[in-house]
């Protein structure tokens, strides 16, 4: 059962990779990267149960977290062409 799931996840990874390579717009690629990250998390979870050691799920947690931050960086770059902004003086209520 878990084997079939792993197979499905791997297949989906390959399809997502094709979409990421083919593009054509940057948004296709952003979606592809995000979906790939999610599939990686799924694969780790499935593999944990497949090998009878589901105690490494907190690694999957890191993947989700990191993928989220990387995705925000990519979308911000795609929209504003830099990562550091806003630079103007701001109110201190956000700190």
Partner 1 sequence: MINISLLMIMVATALGLVWLRNLLAVVMFSGIFSLTAASLWVVLGAVDVAFTEASVGAGIATVLGLASLALTRTEHEKRTRVFHLPALIVVLVTGAALIYGTLDMPGWGDPDAPIHTHVAPRYIEDSLAETGVPNIVTSVLASYRGFDTLGETTVIFTAGVGVLVLLGRGRRYPVANPRVAAGGGPGRAPAAPGSEGAAVPGDSGEMRFKAILRVGGKLLIPPILLFAFYTQAHGELGPGGGFQAGVIFASAFILYALLFGVPMARAVAPASVLRGTLALGVLIYAGVGIAGVLLGGNYLDYSVLAHDPVHGQELGIILIELGVGITVASAMMTVFFVFAGQDPQQVD
Which residues between 15 and 54 bind partner 1 (CB under 8 A)?
Answer: 17, 20-21, 23, 25-27, 29-30, 32-33, 36-37, 40, 43-44, 47
Residue position matching structure tokens 């960086």:
73
Q: From the CB of 40, what's the least distance to partner 1, in Å?
A: 5
Rounded to an integer, what distance in angstroms lies between the CA atom of residue 28 and that of residue 20? Answer: 6
Residue 12 interacting with partner 1 (CB under 8 A): no
Residue 93 interacting with partner 1 (CB under 8 A): no
**Cα within 13 Å of Cα(18), Cβ side:** 5
Q: From the CB of 45, what's the least distance to partner 1, in Å?
A: 10
Q: From the CB of 1, what's the least distance to partner 1, in Å?
A: 15
């Amino acid at each position: 059962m878990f084997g079939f799931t792993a197979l499905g996840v791997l297949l989906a990874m390959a399809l997502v990779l094709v979409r990421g390579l083919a593009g054509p717009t940057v948004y296709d690629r952003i979606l592809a990267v995000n979906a790939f990250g999610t599939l990686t998390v799924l694969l780790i979870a499935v593999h944990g149960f497949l090998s009878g050691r589901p105690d490494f799920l907190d690694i999957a947690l890191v993947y989700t977290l990191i993928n989220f931050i990387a995705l925000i960086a990519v979308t911000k770059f795609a929209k504003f062409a830099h990562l550091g902004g806003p630079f103007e003086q701001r109110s201190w209520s956000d700190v």
